[in-house]
Amino acid sequence: MKGHFRRFVLGATAVAVSSMPLLSATTTYQIDPRHSDAQFAVAHLMISTVRGEFHGITGTVVYDDSDVSKSSVNVTIDATTVDTREPDRDKDLKSDKFFDVANHPSMTFKSTKVEAAGPGKLKVTGDLTIHGITKPIVLEVTVPKAPIKDPWGFQRSAVSGTTKINRQDFGVAWNKTLDSGGVMIGDNVDITLDVEMVVPQAK
């Protein structure tokens, strides 16, 4: 009797599992600009660090957890949202001395390759466009966190990433030589991304 019952349970379980839809390994996320930003840090007067951020981040992240090479990133950053908590400095950064937002209101990053880079890490190579100039860069990125359901029923995840660029490569070249022989602003810029993403509802 016990043997018959066991076979019945196993059979019923197999039928139930086989009737379940297979979950796709690929997830497409939309970046949530209200909960995402890009921070930057650059040397000032060769003695300190000035930090700022951009708030207007939009785009799409496609993540394939079974084959990360099939993943992709396409991001747009609103250059007009630059914020260093100093209005005069922000105005200067928006001018043609730096980002020239009147002619180049947005920055973009489009991945060309995504690779595994150790436990929980990805290496994302792609083209970064700033000030109308495009150069290849590499982002060190965390694997997307396990999705959770928010209070409104949306599936959400998040990633963080870092990279370093030379602003001169992108034509953001203004500087001033100090009497001490140094320069007012460093060329190397550290960039940190904190991105929250949501699975869009089917239309």
Model confidence pTM above 0.95: no
- Residues contacting 134, CB < 8 A, separation 6+: 127, 128
Residue 16 lies in a domain: no
Provide the CATH number for the domain around residue 40.
2.40.128.110
Residue of 80, 37, 75, 82 whose CA lies nearest to 58: 75
Number of domains, the chain:
1
- Residues contacting 44, CB < 8 A, separation 6+: 50, 184, 185, 186
In sequence order, which ranges of 21-102 are alpha helices (DSSP H)? 87-94
Residue 51 lies in a domain: yes
User: pLDDT tens per residue, the chain (203 residues)?
Assistant: 445 544 443 444 443 333 333 345 899 999 999 999 999 999 999 999 999 999 999 999 999 999 999 999 999 999 999 999 999 999 999 999 999 999 999 999 999 999 999 999 999 999 999 999 999 999 999 999 999 999 999 999 999 999 999 999 999 999 999 988 889 999 999 999 999 999 987 66
**Domain hosting residue 54, numbered range:** 24-198
Residue 68 lies in a domain: yes
Tokens of 45: 């007067």
* Cα 203 from Cα 137, distance rounded (Å): 35
**pLDDT at position 13, please?**
40
Residue 3 lies in a domain: no
Residue 189 lies in a domain: yes
Residue 2 lies in a domain: no
Residue 48 lies in a domain: yes
